[in-house]
Amino acid sequence: MANLKIVLLGSGSLYFTRVLPDLFTTPDLQGAELALYDIDAEKSERMAGLARALLSRTGARFTVRSAPSLAEALDGAGFALSSIGGSGAEMSPDVYGSTCHAADIAIPAKYGVFQVVGDTAGPAGMMMGLRAVPPHLEICREMERRCPDVVFLNHSNPMAVLCRAMRKYSSIRVVGICHGVQIGICHAAKLLGVEPEELECRWVGTNHYYWFTSVRHRGRDVHPELLRRTAEARDAPGTKLSSRLSRIHGRQIVYPEDDHIWEFYPFASRAGGFDRLPYDLREAAGRFGGGAGNAVPVRTPPTEETRRQFLVRYQEILDATTLPAVKERGVRGEGIGDLVSAIAHGRRELAIVNVPNVGIVPNLSREAIVEVEALTDSSGVRGVHSDEAPVSLRGLLEKRFAWHELVADAAVTGDRRMALEALLIDEMAILPDSAERMLDELLSASRDLLPQFERCGRP
C-alpha cells in the first residue's frame, strides 16, 4: 500500500502556497496525511490554516497538521519536500530578503564582485550552501532514524550543492526539484510558435544552466530555427546575455533568464559596479538585494513590532492564495503532485529532476548533480540516458562540479581552506589575498549560523 504521509519542511516558506493547491488537485493523493514543520512554529500553523482553507474550497480529502518537532513530523513519512533558505528564522518573505543574503551580496561588492541572484554560484552561492548544508544533513539524520525509505524532494538552493552533500553524507534518496528546464522549453515553444508539449527536447547541464542538444517538432530538427528566432529577439528584456551566448556557442541555452546565466561566467568580477551591470541586470540585482552603495547589514534579532508587521504581511499573502485555473503538468511546471503520485503508486512517468549523473551524460563525472529527464517507479526516479556534453559546456560544468564538491565538504567540515579554494576556482574569483579577506568577512557576518567553522582554524 502506498505511503502517503507527506512532510513539508520549512513549511512557513511561501513556496508552499504553490505546492498545496497542486497536491490537493492530484486525484491519486486523496486521503494523504500532510505534516508541516518549520523552526518558526507560528508560520507553520498559519500555513496549515491555509491548507485547511484550500481543502474546504476543493473538497479534497487530506489530513493536515503542524507538527511540534522535526522527529514527529518525519516519523513514518513516505515523502518529504523542503524549502529551507538557510538564513535562520529571519523575518523576510524569502531568503533573498534576509540580512544573511544581503551581507553575501554586499561584502563581495566591496571586493569588486557584483552578483545578481547569488544562490547558485559565486561567494553568495557558497555562503548559502555553507549555512544550508548542516540543517539539511540534520534532517537526513532524523530521516535515517524515522523514515529511512522516504523520498526527499529538495527545492532549496544552492540545489546542486545541497543534493551533492546529502547524497554524499547520508543514505537518504534525495531528488532535486526545480523549474528551470520547464521555463526554457516553454520559452523555446513560444519563440517557435508551438505548444511546449509538441517539442521533443534533449539538454545537458546542472541546475540553472543547461544547453539544448536537440530540439525537434513533429520529427523535424528545429534547433537551427530556434537559434535564428532567438537572435532576432536578442534585445528582449531579461534574455540579452543568454541570447548572445547561445549564438556564440551554437547551442540554445535552455534557461533564458540572464540573472542566473550571469553566475556561470566571470563577468561579475569584471563589471566595475552595480550601476555598470550590462543587459538590464542592474534592475535584476536590485530585486535580489544588490545595488550601488549597499552597506553590509548587521544581523539583529527581530523586535516584537518587526515580527508583528511581518506576520500581518505574511497572512495577507496567504489569504490571497488562489487555486490555479489549470493544474501544472508536464513541462508547464514542477508537477510536485504528479511526481509524488507516480512514485507512490509505481507509475512509469517522465519527470525533470536533479540527481547524480551515474553515466546519464556519458562524458561528465558520475557523482556530479545534473538536471535531467527521469523515469519514475516505486523506487523513486532513474535518469534517462542523454547526449554527451559539447566540449565548451563540458569545460564549464566540470569546473562547477568541483566547486559543488568543495562547498559541500567545507560546509560539513568547517574547513576554511576548502572554502577559500572554492572561491578561487569559482568563475568570479579574485586575487588570493583579497579572497581570503573577503572570506573572513563573509564567515563573520554569518558566524552564529556557521558553528562548524568555529571548530576549525584559519587556512
H/E element holding 350?
Answer: strand 350-356
What does DSSP say about strands 33-37 and 79-82: parallel, antiparallel, or unpaired?
Answer: unpaired
Torsion region of 250: left, alpha or beta (phi above 0 gives left; psi -120 to 50 gives alpha): left
Helix (H, G, I), strand (E, B) or coil at 328: coil
Helix (H, G, I), strand (E, B) or coil at 227: helix
Distances in Å between the Cα of 366 and the Cα atoms of 157, 167, 356, 380 are 21, 13, 7, 19
How much is the pLDDT for 123? 98
Task: Tell me the β-bridge partners of 176.
Answer: 154, 354
Going by C-alpha positions, the residue among 87, 113, 88 that lies closest to residue 438 is 113
CA distance 155 to 80: 10
Instruction: Say what the pTM is.
Output: 0.95
Burial class (CB in 10 A: 0-12, 13-18, 19+), 161: buried
How much is the pLDDT for 421? 98
Going by C-alpha positions, the residue among 83, 86, 81, 51 that lies closest to residue 65 is 51
Contact residues for 326 (Cβ-Cβ < 8 A; gap 6+): 332
Burial class (CB in 10 A: 0-12, 13-18, 19+), 295: exposed
How much is the pLDDT for 457? 52
How much is the pLDDT for 287? 85
Contact residues for 57 (Cβ-Cβ < 8 A; gap 6+): 323
How much is the pLDDT for 325? 77
Task: Tell me the β-bridge partners of 152.
Answer: 80, 174
Contact residues for 20 (Cβ-Cβ < 8 A; gap 6+): 47, 50, 51, 54, 321
Per-residue pLDDT of the chain (459 residues; tens, 9 = 90+): 689 999 999 999 999 999 999 999 999 999 999 999 999 999 999 999 999 999 999 999 999 999 999 999 999 999 999 999 877 767 787 888 889 999 999 999 999 999 999 999 999 999 999 999 999 999 999 999 999 999 999 999 999 999 999 999 999 999 999 999 999 999 999 999 999 999 999 999 999 999 999 999 999 999 999 999 999 987 788 999 999 999 999 999 999 999 999 999 999 999 999 999 999 899 888 888 776 556 787 777 888 999 999 999 999 999 999 988 778 777 888 999 999 999 999 999 999 999 999 999 999 999 999 999 999 999 999 999 999 999 999 999 999 999 999 999 999 999 999 999 999 999 999 999 999 999 999 999 999 999 999 866 544
CA distance 124 to 127: 5
How much is the pLDDT for 459? 42
What does DSSP say about strands 5-9 and 209-217: parallel, antiparallel, or unpaired?
Answer: unpaired
Contact residues for 441 (Cβ-Cβ < 8 A; gap 6+): 107, 110, 296
